[in-house]
Amino acid sequence: MIFLNLSIPKSANTRFSLLIIVLLLAFNFFSLPNLSYLGIHPKVLGTKQTEYDLLNYVHPPLPQVNSQVSPPLLAQSFILLDNDSNTTLLAKNQYLRIFPASITKLATAITALNIYPLDEIVTVSHPYYEGKTMGLRLGEKILVKDLISALLVHSANDAAINLAYHHPQGLFGFLNQMNLLTAKYELKDTHFINVDGIHQESHYSTVFDLAQLARIAIKNPVLREAVKTKSLDVFDLNHQIVHHLLTTNELLDVVPEIEGLKTGWTPEAGGCFVGLINLNGHYLISVVAQSSDRFADTRRLLDWSKSHLSYISYEP
């Protein structure tokens, strides 16, 4: 029997192994971008867009305040901040816990927009008559987007309640989502135990947290459009029931710089108002709380801004 020696000399074997390694690396380089399967540069969806955004990022102008003297306000707590830079311009008791009243509905609206499609149908299961309402009827079918408009424009408590009960886990499932929202954005001095702002001792926030909540809210175009609407009619699904909605914001179409945002009032909370102020293209967020004249206080903050606030370009 003849045995053939098929072994490769050691030097040839080394060259052959190196050739295989080189070919494998070349294959990986050209056919598997970023070698993501090895975890060297994990592939992330949207990376190109993120890189584009970073390359085209323009730092917002910097607000410059020439006076720290606050205007005389009736509010026990207030804050005025520049939206783009999140710079606090004026404040008093900004971290003091307050009752947010119907400003709560900003969080209700954001939560509903996060979890429901706008064209989803809600069947009214809980007619509700406490506080300001839109007159929803038991069994009425209405779109999510119309309920969101009603709670933002008209501050309708029954809209908030039925959006909440529409959640698969009911009211408490929806409330859990609202508090997860505050946790996500580190609003550590805010806790919600209802969706409409009716007074309860364990339902609280601060003007600082409410200003941050407003900054989150205005990023949503549906919400931003609703809060500057003075009046509208919404209908049930069959167009048999009409709800006439009027804004609770007395500054809309009266003070041109005011483009929203949300009112609140209970005997315990006093008058509250979160304002969205357009100052020559620069957006400010104002919050006044525990005020006997929330709209006059907001006007005073606007007048102060016109006299004492300017902007400069950012220089790295």
Read off the pLDDT of residues 24-64 as tens digits, 9 standing for 90 and up.
555 444 443 333 323 323 333 445 556 666 677 778 899 99
d(CA 16, CA 35): 24
Number of compact structural domains in the chain: 1
Q: Which of 55-59, 203-207, 226-230 has the lowest mean pLDDT?
A: 55-59
164-172 mean pLDDT: 97
Identify which has the larger pLDDT, 20 or 237.
237
- Exposed / middle / buried, residue 266 (Cβ in 10 Å: 0-12, 13-18, 19+): middle
Q: H/E/C letters for each residue in 59-126?
A: CCCEEEECCCCCCCCCCCEEEEEECCCCEEEEEECCCCCECCHHHHHHHHHHHHHHHCCCCCEEECCC
- Assign residue 133 the CATH number of its domain: 3.40.710.10
d(CA 168, CA 182): 21
Q: Is residue 100 part of a domain?
A: yes
Q: Is residue 162 part of a domain?
A: yes
Whole-number mean pLDDT of the chain? Answer: 88
d(CA 290, CA 270): 4
DSSP assigned state of 191 = B
Q: Is residue 28 part of a domain?
A: no
203-230 mean pLDDT: 97
The model's pLDDT over 241-295, given as tens digits with 9 standing for 90+, comes to 999 999 999 999 999 999 999 999 999 999 999 999 999 999 999 999 999 999 9
Q: How far is CA 154 from CA 4, 232, 309, in A?
A: 94, 9, 32
Q: Is residue 111 part of a domain?
A: yes
Q: Is residue 220 part of a domain?
A: yes
pTM of the model: 0.82
The answer to whether the CB of 97 falls within 8 A of the CB of 189 is: yes
For tokens 């970023």, the residue is 34
133-159 mean pLDDT: 98
The closest of 149, 143, 59 to 108, measured between CA atoms, is 149
Q: Is residue 5 part of a domain?
A: no
pLDDT of 40 reads 28
pLDDT of 147 reads 98
pLDDT grade, residue 171 (50/70/90)?
Answer: very high
Of the CA atoms within 13 Å of residue 53, those in its CB half-sphere come to 5
Q: Is residue 55 part of a domain?
A: no
pLDDT grade, residue 6 (50/70/90)?
Answer: very low
Q: Is residue 19 part of a domain?
A: no
SS3 294: helix
pLDDT of 51 reads 62
Secondary structure tally for the chain: helices H, strands E: 9, 11
Q: Which of 40-44, 149-153, 172-176, 203-207 has the lowest mean pLDDT?
A: 40-44
Domain region containing 178: 62-312
pLDDT of 59 reads 83
Residue 155 has pLDDT above 60, yes or no: yes
